[in-house]
Structure 1
Amino acid sequence: MTQDDKVPIEDDGMTRTGRLAGGLRNDLRRRLPHYLSDWRDGLHPKVAGSTLFLFFACLANAIAFGGLTGLVTGGEIGTVEMIVATAAGGILFALCAGQPLTLLGGTGPIVIFTGLLYTTCVELSLPFLPVYGWVGLWSGLFLVLLSITDASFLMRYFTRFTDEIFAALIAVIFIVEAVKSVTLGFTEDGSDIAAALLSLILAVGTYLVARSLKGFLHTPFLHRRVREMVSDFGPALAIAAMTGVALLFPDVELEGAAIPETVATTSGRPWQVDLSDVPTWVMFAASGPALLATILLFLDQNISTRLVNAKSHKLEKGPGFHLDLLVVGAITVACSIFGLPWIVAATVHALNHVKSLADTEVVAEGGAIRERIVSVRENRVSPLMIHVLIAGSILILPLIKLIPMAVLFGLFLYMGFATLNGNELADRARLWFTDRSLYPETHYIRTVPRRKIHLFTIIQLGGLIALWVLKTSPLGLLFPILIALLVPLRLAMKRLFTEAELEALDGEESAEDIEHDHMMAGDLHA
């Protein structure tokens, strides 16, 4: 191996090599030596707990976003297609990706884009699925080209400022959608109040039980191994417990998991899309909306992967941005040919996947106590088994249908709040309601004036609100562009903050900061 072929020791996976497929080759050299250990490290009870938790979470995501996709596409792409795409794409990603801890799935922004594309096709009297197929083929091709031209180096310009806004947005979407779905029964005309009340109890109960069991590790009860087992299987136990509660009320009719009874397309069409069923000009014109779709998929994938590979997660096997993007591009092409929803890194699921595989310690910061990740069991077994179980969900249909949707929405609620927990945007927003004498002694509070901390938070919340408003507007197609515009906004903030202030608020914690927190943790345990 020549000097040029070696991967830099401190390579963060976002280096521009200047060589064709240079970043991709670096990803392969970085990750291939760990491929066997990815399977060996998956043989652990913690992986089993993570698998059960995320299986239900990813299945709920497929059901929810599959149903929503069916609504915005007139039933041409629905729940069964979303389940097939999630299962097949997730299995391929677990086997081939550079960072297998990242989980793929349908996302709100992609559903919005798909709905707008369907509306455009209706207005132009064009068949939706062939147009969708061509847009996806172009987008998949663009993603492959981006992967072999080191395009992920652009993520160097996306700092934690953008990551925190994006993660908060996705978490808020989960929380809002869960709350809307659970409270819908109280607002609809002619609704069953008993069913609505029981649904509310099940959703809140699932959230509270999952949260309590997850934190059981840090209680003094029972042996530590037992506490670890309860904590790891907490979300799955919460689903089982609240499903059991629902079965105690057989006379109350609850909405069950919307799983299809047969593996057939929602509309009854053939699986393969007839791509020739459009005028020739459409085949080339589809490259226009494909550029917007590519921006959305590129940013969604890479921002989520950046969050997974954050230094605070203590991952040791390295990232694989370009390899991940190549696999997503191939999945996008395959999904487009068969009229399946495009899937990409699902931020909330990926972050909860990492947390479910993590060993943590309790750290004291001033008047506050929080958890810090010590290590993560990096493996390919849990992501593979999660999606194998999703593929096999049709075979255990009677059991899956016993789970009320309210329980799955409670799981959404838990995941949304779990994602916000540890997001510094949320932590800094809470400072507005915290006694100043009880501010935690974090690295930025020790070095940045209080008014500058609040100004930074206000700007981030402004970006979050702008993304939310655009997402829900008729101009939602431009959503990915606004995400990209957060980068120049962050660069412009140099006029309001010094370099030292921005480094403290937006940079990774230094070794000195981490050592300070460990000293605080030692004081706590002493």
Structure 2
Amino acid sequence: MRKTDSSDPLAYTGRLFGGLQNDLRRRLPFYISDFRDGLSSKVVASTVFLFFACLANAVAFGALTSIMTGGEIGTVEMIVATALGGILFALFAGQPLTILGGTGPIVIFTGLLYALSQQMSLPFLSVYAWVGLWAGLFMLILAFTDASALMRLFTRFTDEIFAALVAVIFIYEAVSSLLAPFMENPRDNSKALMTLVLSLGTYMLARSLKMVLQTPYLQRKAREFISDFGPAIAIAIMTAFALLMPEIDVERAAVPETFATTTGRPWLVDLFALPTWAIFAAAGPALLVTVLLFLDQNISARLVNSPLHSLRKGCGYNLDLVVVGVITAVCSLFALPWIVAATVHSLNHVKSLATTETVSLGSSTTEKIISVEENRVSPLLIHLLLAASIFMLPVIKMIPMEVLFGLFLYMGFSTLSGTEFFERVRLWATDRKLYPQTHYVRRVPRKVIHLFTLIQLVALVALWILKSSPAGILFPLFIAMLVPLRFLMNRWFAEEHLEVLDAEEANDEHMDDDTMGDFRP
């Protein structure tokens, strides 16, 4: 691998610990300011919003993990892992704006590992612990050898497919919850209607309140306050609405009344319940989960560190990987779920801390991020509150799951609509004369834009199908295969077109008409 400039966060230094040392040099000067800059109202709003979002994620993916592991790992374990891992990451990571949590691909892999353990008549928790310990070790090796420099091969093409996949998983889970009451008991119209009202009500309220900033009503500070606290206000209003109608049954968060493991087992796993050969054989599945954790963490970090977010303090890919590797190993000892950068939560965290302005692009407008309150306070408080929620389980159960899935819907669409991929998909149904005057519309032929987008869409559908197929355990490798697919596209597209469509940042959004040349669609 070719050595690059040390100022590049994805530089390959060619020295053991070289990239990690660069990350520390880059981030340590800002460590105190990360706490000082967290003293703002935006941080408070972001904390409240993301606390409920992380709680919803822990409850939902914890319940799904319980189903896929025969109840051996469940919601309490997911909450504990998310709280503990999030606190450690907020304190020691290079990019604290990244939010850790359970993810769909990791839960799916855990279920496949459980099935494999059952087939081989091995104790699942011991197998899980050794796979996690090996994976933690492998991630530390990757961090110490500058393996994150491989992310230079990933581009906006792959980032957008991955972000869209995770966003669609959120939307799919939310919509499935909306439809479930109608399918389970078609005659129970009251519960089905209440599910619809609470979920869609939370989504529409959060979305409407978030957009208050773009209206001419009230003073700007009042609009900013309502916009920042919009999701939290929506959760409070819809929860109160549900409590005012106790006669209608709603689904409550699937958490126990007391703090204990799901099955009542001891927290610490018996590592030596496995035969010696199985301990070493666990390194095989660990390689696959390492690939998944490595890609999940680094792709999400690339999305957070996008130039479009105007971050100024720098990042630390190798340092982040060290922290995630340690968290993975610690969680494995206690059979807690593996957690990694949660794409949807991380991007919503950045957006909730952002100051934006509305930019006109021909007949349409878009939001441009001017600055972001980069800090460690909001992620630290989010996960401290999550840890405290373990001791307030009866109170947490008052929040209807329908409200939390409405929040899932909001976050999924918010993430999806923030990608250039989704903007280009919408062009298929847009009048050519009303195309927004973005950099790629002005400089790339229309047919080329649509073909590039179609390839991304086909790749997204293929990943969606694969993740639920019998070959799902190979899912991490197929994400990595997006890189050679992107290189193959150099044969099908002109280089100047790919540079525009796949650029990290659009530096010429307001290019003069004279510079458009023959690239008009």
Where on the TM-score scale, by shorter chain, does this alignment land: which range? over 0.9
Alignment of 1:52 onto 2:48: yes
Instruction: Indicate the residue corresponding to 1:524 in structure 2.
Output: none
Contact 1:296 1:480 in 2 (8 A): yes
Alignment of 1:17 onto 2:13: yes
The equivalences for 1:436-455 within 5 A come to 436-455=432-451
SS of equivalent to 2:71? coil
SS of equivalent to 1:372? strand
In structure 2, C-alpha distance between the alignment counterparts of 1:331 and 1:516, rounded to whole Å: 50
In structure 1, C-alpha distance between the alignment counterparts of 2:15 and 2:169, rounded to whole Å: 39
In structure 2, C-alpha distance between the alignment counterparts of 1:401 and 1:226, rounded to whole Å: 32
Post-superposition Cα deviations, 1:174-229, rounded to whole Å, max 9, x if no partner, equal 00110001210000147732111101111000000000000111111111111101
2:418 to 419, 422, 435: 422
Instruction: Indicate the residue corresponding to 2:98 in structure 1.
Output: 102
* Gap regions ≥5 residues in structure 1: 1-6, 518-526
Instruction: Indicate the residue corresponding to 1:152 in structure 2.
Output: 148
Instruction: Indicate the residue corresponding to 1:29 in structure 2.
Output: 25
Contact 2:444 2:497 in 1 (8 A): yes
Contact 2:131 2:285 in 1 (8 A): yes
In structure 2, C-alpha distance between the alignment counterparts of 1:461 and 1:408, rounded to whole Å: 28
Change (3 A) 1:216 1:10: farther
- Name the % identity: 66
Contact 2:65 2:111 in 1 (8 A): yes
1:372 to 358, 368, 388: 368
SS of equivalent to 1:491? helix
Post-superposition Cα deviations, 1:384-416, rounded to whole Å, max 9, x if no partner, equal 000000001133334322210000000000000
Alignment of 1:238 onto 2:234: yes
**Equivalent residue letter for 2:67:** L
Alignment of 1:331 onto 2:327: yes
Shift of 1:516: 6.9
The equivalences for 1:209-358 within 5 A come to 209-358=205-354
In structure 1, C-alpha distance between the alignment counterparts of 2:186 and 2:75, rounded to whole Å: 26
In structure 2, C-alpha distance between the alignment counterparts of 1:321 and 1:503, rounded to whole Å: 24
Contact 2:4 2:11 in 1 (8 A): no
Alignment of 1:113 onto 2:109: yes
Contact 2:300 2:342 in 1 (8 A): yes
**Equivalent residue letter for 1:323:** L
SS of equivalent to 2:408? helix
**Equivalent residue letter for 1:56:** F
The equivalences for 1:390-409 within 5 A come to 390-409=386-405
Instruction: Indicate the residue corresponding to 2:358 in structure 1.
Output: 362
In structure 2, C-alpha distance between the alignment counterparts of 1:294 and 1:50, rounded to whole Å: 31
**Equivalent residue letter for 1:212:** S
Shift of 1:9: 8.3
**Equivalent residue letter for 2:255:** I
SS of equivalent to 1:512? coil
Shift of 1:86: 0.3
Contact 1:258 1:401 in 2 (8 A): yes
SS of equivalent to 1:17? coil
In structure 2, C-alpha distance between the alignment counterparts of 1:270 and 1:514, rounded to whole Å: 61
Instruction: Indicate the residue corresponding to 1:503 in structure 2.
Output: 499
Instruction: Indicate the residue corresponding to 1:170 in structure 2.
Output: 166
Alignment of 1:200 onto 2:196: yes
**Equivalent residue letter for 2:496:** A
SS of equivalent to 2:272? coil
Contact 1:185 1:191 in 2 (8 A): no
In structure 1, C-alpha distance between the alignment counterparts of 2:97 and 2:112, rounded to whole Å: 31
SS of equivalent to 2:303? helix
Instruction: Indicate the residue corresponding to 1:520 in structure 2.
Output: none
In structure 1, C-alpha distance between the alignment counterparts of 2:504 and 2:133, rounded to whole Å: 37
Contact 1:72 1:114 in 2 (8 A): yes
Aligned length: 511
Instruction: Indicate the residue corresponding to 2:477 in structure 1.
Output: 481
Change (3 A) 1:488 1:250: same
Shift of 1:340: 0.3
* Gap regions ≥5 residues in structure 2: 514-521
Post-superposition Cα deviations, 1:106-165, rounded to whole Å, max 9, x if no partner, equal 000000000000000001100000001000000000000000000000000000000000
Change (3 A) 1:516 1:304: farther
Alignment of 1:40 onto 2:47: no
In structure 2, C-alpha distance between the alignment counterparts of 1:8 and 1:149, rounded to whole Å: 14
1:411 to 399, 407, 411: 407
**Equivalent residue letter for 1:131:** V
The equivalences for 1:47-86 within 5 A come to 47-86=43-82
Change (3 A) 1:425 1:74: same
Shift of 1:244: 1.2
2:384 to 379, 384, 388: 388
In structure 1, C-alpha distance between the alignment counterparts of 2:290 and 2:5, rounded to whole Å: 31
Contact 2:47 2:378 in 1 (8 A): yes
1:492 to 488, 503, 514: 488
In structure 2, C-alpha distance between the alignment counterparts of 1:133 and 1:13, rounded to whole Å: 32
Change (3 A) 1:8 1:220: farther
Contact 2:92 2:323 in 1 (8 A): yes
Contact 1:131 1:278 in 2 (8 A): yes
Q: Structure 1 residues 172-181 or 243-252, which shifts more?
A: 243-252
In structure 1, C-alpha distance between the alignment counterparts of 2:232 and 2:461, rounded to whole Å: 33
SS of equivalent to 2:76? helix
In structure 2, C-alpha distance between the alignment counterparts of 1:312 and 1:10, rounded to whole Å: 22
SS of equivalent to 2:500? helix
1:466 to 456, 462, 466: 462
SS of equivalent to 1:276? helix
